Amino acid sequence: MGESIVTIHETSGKGLVWTACRRAVIIIVMKFDEGIYQIALEDWLYQQDFQKHFDSPQPLEVDLGAGKGRFILARAGKQPEINFLGIERKLVRVRKIEKKAFRNDTHNIRLLRLEGQYCVQYLFPDASVDTYYIFYPDPWPKAKHHKNRLMKASFVDQLHRTLKTDGKIHFSSDHLPYYDEVKALMDADQRFTPIDPFIPTEDETTDFELLFAGKIPGRCSYQKR
């Protein structure tokens, strides 16, 4: 990121969380409520120590596009020895997860209302994440919109940079052409080893997956060498 660059707009409206253009990165930090579990960063531009937002430093697992949170809530409830960060761009969903985490007394969840790609690229330090869960990211099925897909070579570079050695990526999609594309991209990437796909337990099955119960999604998982 160059120096001349950055404007931060705060807005309560809807819209893109960030827009990148040739020489500038404009970040629009949309309205958030800072709560017990929803975090606001001191600095939205540069790499952050996310561990300091948790009760204590522990392995960090990230749910990118956490949705309504069924997965992260179940997983974090069962694994208090791990810190879980849910990233989600829809405020209403972040609030929903926060309420449930509060009700369940789940202390090892933090939520960030932000665009996931921006967060990984600019805010996560090198080798700071143990696991990424990327479940049912928007498939952008029309060819002219494929450029909007989260999983592409440049983003995989950022996942690699931010993962610790032996760190994992778990991916699933019900849109099989997107799944096939991601699997081909990852299988060809010598920096990762394919491992057994992550299969959620019943309580961890995501809200989105429950919507199409019966349809078999594509699932694949990888470990950083």
Ligand X SMILES: C[S@@+](CC[C@H](N)C(=O)[O-])C[C@H]1O[C@@H](n2cnc3c(N)ncnc32)[C@H](O)[C@@H]1O
User: Annotated catalytic sites, by residue?
Assistant: 138
Is there binding between residue 98 and ligand X (CB under 6 A)? no
Q: Considering only residues 186 through 215, tell me which ones interact with ligand X, judged by CB under 6 A.
A: 206-209
Helix (H, G, I), strand (E, B) or coil at 107: coil
* DSSP sequence for 27-62: EEEE-----SSB---S-SSS---GGGGSSS---EEE
Q: Which of 106, 108, 117, 221 binds ligand X (CB under 6 A)?
A: 117
Cβ closer to ligand X: 66 or 163? 66
What DSSP character marks residue 204?
A: G
Piece of the chain touching ligand X by CB under 6 A; list 37-45, 50-58, 102-110, 114-122: 114-122
Stretch that binds ligand X, among 2-10, 115-123, 152-160, 196-204 (CB under 6 A): 115-123
Q: What gap in Å lies between CA 132 and CA 186, rounded to an integer?
A: 14
Confirm if 220 and 171 have CB atoms less than 8 A apart: yes
Residue 89 is a binding residue for ligand X (CB under 6 A): yes
Q: State yes or no: residue 121 binds ligand X (CB under 6 A).
A: no
Cα distance between residue 172 and residue 139, in whole Å: 11
| CA of residue 147 relative to chain centroid, distance | 18
**Smaller CB distance to ligand X: residue 138 or 166?**
138
Q: Which two tokens stand for residue 35?
A: 């709560």
Question: Residue 136, interface with ligand X (CB under 6 A)?
Answer: yes
User: According to the binding rule CB under 6 A, does residue 61 interact with ligand X?
Assistant: no
Across the beta sheet with 18-20, the strand order is 7-11, 25-30, 18-20
- If the CB atoms of residues 113 and 224 are measured against ligand X, the closer one turns out to be 113
User: Which residues sit at the interface with ligand X, rule CB under 6 A?
Assistant: 65-67, 87-90, 93, 115-117, 135-138, 150, 206-209
